[in-house]
Structure 1
Amino acid sequence: MAPSHDPSTSADAAPDSAVSFSLEGVRTGFLTCIPVALGVAGYGVAFGVVANQAGLSVAEAALMSATVVAGASQLIAVELWADPLPVTAILVTTVAVNLRYSLMGAALERWFRHLSPTQVYGSLFLMADENWALTVRDLKTGSGRGAFLLGSGIAIWTFWVASTVVGVLAGGVIGDPARYGFDFILAAVFLALAADLWDGRSTFVPWLVALATALVASSVLPGRWYILLGGLAAAALEVIRYDA
C-alpha cells in the first residue's frame, strides 16, 4: 500500500534528491531577480559616488564590487579609507558585518547537500541578502532549482558592478547621494523582501527578537556587530523552539 501524501507539507518536505542544477534554474533565477537587482543598482550608484569621494578610481571601485559583492562591507571599507590604510580596522569590521552569511548559507544546506562543491561554492560567492531571500522562497515551493541562487546572483553582480562604475563616473556631478534618496533604496528593497518572506505569526517572534537584540547591541557595542548578533539571537530562538 502506498504511503499517504499530505499536500500541505509537500513544499517544505521535497526530497533532497529533487534538487537539480540546470541552465533553466540559472535563467529563472536571473529573470526573477532583475527587479530586485534594479534596486540594488541604486545602492551601487551611491557606493560609486562615495568611492569616488574617497579617491578610488573607476577600475579600483569596479574591482572591489566585482570581487567582494557586499555593499555594506564595501561602504564601511571606503568610509575607513585613509593614508595609511587601516587594514586591521577594515578587516575586523567587515568580518563582523559579513558573518551573517554563515547563517544564511547554513539555511540553504538542506537543499544544497547533494550539489557538487563547485556548484555550491560558485553560487555562494554570488550570494547577497536579496537573492538569498528570493532563493529560499523559490526552493520552499519545491521547485528544486538548485541553480536559482547562481542565476539571481549573476543578476545582482551585473547590476552591482555596472552601477558602481556609473556612480564613480557621476560622482562629481551627483555629490551627496542622500540628496536623491539613494541611501534609502536598499532599506526599501529589504522591506519588500521581508514582507515577501512573511510566513504568518510564527515569523513574528524571531523577527522581534532579532530587532530587539540588534537595537540593544547597536547602543552598547561599536561598529556593526548588531547585525550578526540580531541574526544569531533569532537563529538560537528557532533552534530552541523546534528542538523543544
Structure 2
Amino acid sequence: MALCYHRRMPDTTEKQDACPPVRARFARGLRLGLPIFLGYAPIGAAFGIVARSLGFSPFQAIVCSGTALAGAGQLIALQLIGSGATALAVVFTTAVVNLRYVLFGAAMSQHATGMPVRQQAFLAFTLTDETFAVNIDDNRRGHADFWSMAGVGVIAWSGWVAGTAAGAFAANAIGDPTRFGVQFAMPAMFTALLVAQAEDRRHVMTALVAAGFAVALMLSLPDPWYLILAPIGAATVATAVTR
C-alpha cells in the first residue's frame, strides 16, 4: 500500500529505496481529490441554501456539514425536517441511507491494516462514496498510503464545507439553486468516477447490473433501500459469475 518503491540509480545496476516525503504524498492526495472538491462545492452550496430556508443559521449549517460529511444523508434529513418529520424518523432514515458506509468501511479495512487507531478514525470520518472510489482505485494500483488517502479526504471535506458556507451566506441572493442545475453535479461526478475505474468488461457489466437493479427496485421500495440493495445485489452477482 505504501508509496515507497525501488528504482535503479543512473549508470548502475543497484537499486535504492525511494519514499516520497509526507508532504509530497499528502499533496498527491489533494490532487487526486480535486475533482471531488469541484463536485462537492455546488452540492454543499445547495445544502447551505436549503438549510437556511428551514431556519438554520449559517453557523449551524456549516457545523452540520463540518461534523457529518454525509451529503445524501444531510439533504434527505433536510427534506424530512421540512416535511415535519419527527427527530426519530430523521435519525432512522439517515442511518438507513448511510448503511452503505458499513460496506465501504469493510472494504477499506484491508488497506488500513497496521495503521494507528487515530489514522483509521480519520479515514473513517472522511469516508464518502467518492473518497472511497478514489482511494480504492489508488490502493488497487499500489500507490496509496495513509497520507495520500488523508489528502483525498481533506480536500473532499473542504469542498463540502466551503460549498455549504458559500450557500448559507449567499442564500438570500441565490434563491432557488435548482435553476442553475446544481442537482446534476452529483450524478455527473459519479459518472466520471465510474468511467475512470471501469477497466474491463466485468466492471462495465457490474455497473449495468447495478443500474438495472436500482431501476427495478426503485419501483417497489422506498427511496433509501433501493440505493443500498442495488449495489449489494450487483456485487453478489458479479462475484458469483466471475468466480
Question: TM-score normalized by structure 2?
Answer: 0.85
Q: CA deviation at 1:166?
A: 0.9
How far apart, CA to CA, are the structure 2 residues paired with 1:147 and 1:231?
29
Q: Judging changes above 3 Å, is the alpha-carbon distance between structure 1 residues 23 and 116 closer, same or farther for their aligned structure 2 residues?
A: farther
Alignment partners' CA distance in 1, 2:21 and 2:92? 35
Distance 1:189 1:144, change over 3 A: closer
1:232 aligns with 2:232: yes
User: Which residue of structure 2 lines up, in the alignment, with residue 143 of structure 1?
Assistant: 143
1:118-157 to 2 correspondence within 5 Å?
118-157=118-157
Q: Tell me, in whole angstroms, the C-alpha distance in 2 between the residues paired with 1:26 and 1:162.
A: 20
Partner of 1:212: 212
Stretches (4+) displaced over 6 A: none
Unaligned runs of 5+ in 2: 1-19
Q: Could you tell me which amino acid in structure 2 is paired with residue 86 of structure 1?
A: T
Match of 2:76 in 1: 76
Counterpart AA for 2:168: V
Cross-structure match for 1:221: 221
Aligned to 1:203: 203
For residues 127-163 of structure 1, what are the alpha-carbon distances to aligned partners after superposition, in whole Å with 9 as ceiling and x for unaligned? Answer: 1111211111211111142332221111011121111
Partner of 2:31: 31
Q: Matched residues in 2 for 1:175 and 1:29: separation? A: 34
- Residue 86 of structure 1 aligns with which residue? 86
1-side partners of 2:144 and 2:196: how far apart?
19
Counterpart amino acid of residue 62 in structure 1: I
- The whole-number CA distance in structure 2 between the counterparts of 1:83 and 1:209 is 34
Counterpart code for 2:166 = V
User: d(CA) in 2 for partners of 1:23 and 1:238?
Assistant: 39
Matches within 5 A, 1:169-184: 169-184=169-184
Partner of 1:8: none
Q: What number of residue pairs does the alignment pair up?
A: 225
Counterpart AA for 2:187? A
The 3 A distance-change label for structure 1 pair 238 and 110 is farther
C-alpha change, 1:21 and 1:149, in structure 2 (3 Å) is farther
Cα deviation digits, residues 85-109 of structure 1 (max 9, x gap)? 6112112211221111112222223
Shift of 1:69: 0.1
Q: Which amino acid aligns with 1:239?
A: T
Q: Which moved more, 1:132-141 or 1:108-117?
A: 108-117
Please list, as runs of the form range in 1=range in 2, the aligned pairs for 1:98-113 lying within 5 A after superposition.
98-113=98-113
The percent identity for this pair of structures is: 33
What is the DSSP-based 3-state SS (H/G/I as helix, E as strand, rest coil) of the residue aligned with 1:224? helix
| CA-CA distance at 1:21 after TM superposition | 11
1:64 offset after TM fit, Å?
Answer: 0.6
Q: What displacement does 1:83 show?
A: 9.0
Q: Distance in 2 between matches of 1:21 and 1:92?
A: 43
